[in-house]
Amino acid sequence: METVVFVLMILVCFNFMLKQTYRKWSSVLATAVICALFVGLMWPYAIEQSKTQITDWLANPSLMLDTSVILSVEVVLQMAFCMLAAHIQTTGPVKRRILWAYRALRWFPGILIFPVLFSGLVALIFSFPGASFSFIAWCMAIGVLILIPAGSFLLRWLLPEKEVRLELLFLANALIAILGIIATVNGRTAVKGINEVNWDALAGLFILVVVGTLTGLIIRKIKLKRIN
């Protein structure tokens, strides 16, 4: 399980760096400063952790399920950004609300990077026993401050086509979603299966599908009449 979580953390960092390639350099630098300050100021909390406590966190079902909710929300937002970006690139003039939604999602850097940075700080402090905790934290902060703009520049140089980066961002988020399910569920199921069919629930689902289908057809006909 630790290996899956480690791979997931690497993908989160890659996804974060790839998202920075769609932002202006001023935004990238502002994000780098925020991440660096987070790393430098979190060392008093990082030294209170332990390797056994982190293992207990990974084995805590309720905590991992809460983490899966945060991971799912971020993946949905990042995939929505990819789809909106593809929509804007492939179609003509778009509505203003779509453009505003795209800009808002482009500014969203992601929140999973902060737990990853915190876990990296904890691991780095454990790797240098006896050294000054604040010194280690601020050295890592300087490294983060340099690596984020440098990584963004390197990805733009290696992948100059925005379409390729967009596809890669979408696929990376899909892989994060799959690994997130494996890491957070860990062989458990949230709902216990039953042998009987709940006919009331099935009927309610059928009614919702029918109502939704009819509503969509009516809206489509109204739009086609307005176009004609």
pLDDT in tens, 70-81: 888 888 888 888
17-43 confidence digits (pLDDT tens):
888 888 888 888 998 999 999 998 988
What domain range is 63 assigned to? 2-190
Same domain membership, residue 13 and residue 118: yes
What is the count of structural domains for the chain? 2
Report residue 87's pLDDT band, with 50, 70 and 90 as the boundaries: confident
Q: Do 149 and 204 sit in the same domain of this protein? A: no
pLDDT digits (tens, 9 = 90+) for 93-148: 777 888 888 888 888 878 888 888 888 888 888 888 778 888 988 999 999 999 99
Residues 185 and 202 in one domain: no
> Are 21 and 90 members of one domain?
yes
Q: What is the pLDDT of residue 164?
A: 85
111 and 204 together in one domain = no
Question: Is the whole-model pTM more than 0.85?
Answer: no
Residues 175 and 225 in one domain: no
Q: Please state, for a pLDDT cut of 90, what percent of the chain lies above it.
A: 9
Residue type, 76: V
Instruction: Determine contact, residues 162/22, Cβ cutoff 8 Å.
Output: yes
Q: Are residues 144 and 216 in the same domain?
A: no
**Whether residues 209 and 178 fall in one domain:** no
Tell me the pLDDT band of 189, cut-offs 50, 70 and 90. very low
184 and 206, same structural domain?
no
Mean pLDDT, the chain, rounded, equals 81
pLDDT above 80: residue 163:
yes
Residues 114 and 150 in one domain: yes
* 132 and 209 part of one domain: no
pLDDT of residue 142: 93
Say if residue 43 is in the same domain as residue 96. yes
φ, ψ for residue 162, nearest 5 deg: -65, -35
Cβ-based neighbour number of residue 143 at 10 Å: 14
Structure confidence at residue 146 (pLDDT)? 92
